[in-house]
Amino acid sequence: MRHSSKPPRDFRLAFKSAVDMAPGSRPFVCEGSPYAQQAFIIGINATVGVGDFWDYWDDSYGMLKSTKFMPTYLKEKGEKISPTRKRIETLVSPNVRCLETNLYLQPTRRAKMLTDKSTECIRFLLLHVRPKVLLIHGKPPAQYVFERHCSVATTANWEECNTQFTTVRADWGEVAIRTVRHLWLPYWNSERFQALQHQFWSQLNI
């Protein structure tokens, strides 16, 4: 059962009770309440921390992405948007109710620099928000989702997810999953990315 009617305050209290978050961590990005999001985009880990994450939060609204988070993010990046961020922001149009998160909570410039590989954050988000659509970029988060949350899925299911959104039974119910190469890769030329965008938006009836 989804919890879209619950207030953002309830989410914050539950999250802080369940997830041990170090200063500078960026657990997720979305506009408004996480409970209202239909889809997740899941990567490996964030590259940039944002100070105290809850500075970008309002208990009556949820995450203040457009008004507080993005201005700070752009300042930290020197107004330069990475290929990953640019593609994610293209996928997440104003009409897309999507939460962006990662397998690992610790922000590092490169994945190989990770020292904390706990997955309590992604586990909490999946089981509490219960997304209907997952777009997963990178092998580690795809392996995690299938091994930990889609235990009844077959190898054939996983292989099918590499080419198209495929409905799989997860711990929280049925979910359409698409696994792709990491979004920062040059592999994503205009034609390939537009095809992915069309697939993603079609799953959300946009």
Domain count, the chain: 1
**Which pLDDT score, from 0 to 100, does residue 28 have?**
96
Which of 191, 175, 193 has the alpha carbon at shortest distance from 38?
Answer: 175
Q: The CATH number of the domain where 154 resides is what?
A: 3.40.470
Say if 168 falls within a structural domain: yes
Tens of pLDDT along 118-177? 999 999 999 999 999 999 999 999 999 999 999 777 777 888 999 999 999 999 999 999
Residue 156: predicted pLDDT: 74
Q: What single DSSP character describes residue 185?
A: S
The answer to whether residue 194 sits within a structural domain is yes
Q: What is the pLDDT of residue 125?
A: 98
Closest of 107, 106, 94, 170 to residue 136, by C-alpha: 170
Q: Point out which residues pair with 21 in neighbouring strands.
A: none
Please tell me which residue, 187 or 117, carries the higher pLDDT value.
Answer: 187
pTM: 0.93
Domain assignment present for residue 2? The answer is: no
Whether residue 1 has pLDDT greater than 90: no
Q: Are 172 and 126 in contact (CB under 8 A)?
A: yes
Strand partners, 28: 101
> Residue 45 falls within a domain, yes or no?
yes
pLDDT band at 22 (very low <50, low <70, confident <90, very high): confident
3 in a structural domain: no
Domain, as residue range, for 59: 8-203
Q: Is residue 145 part of a domain?
A: yes
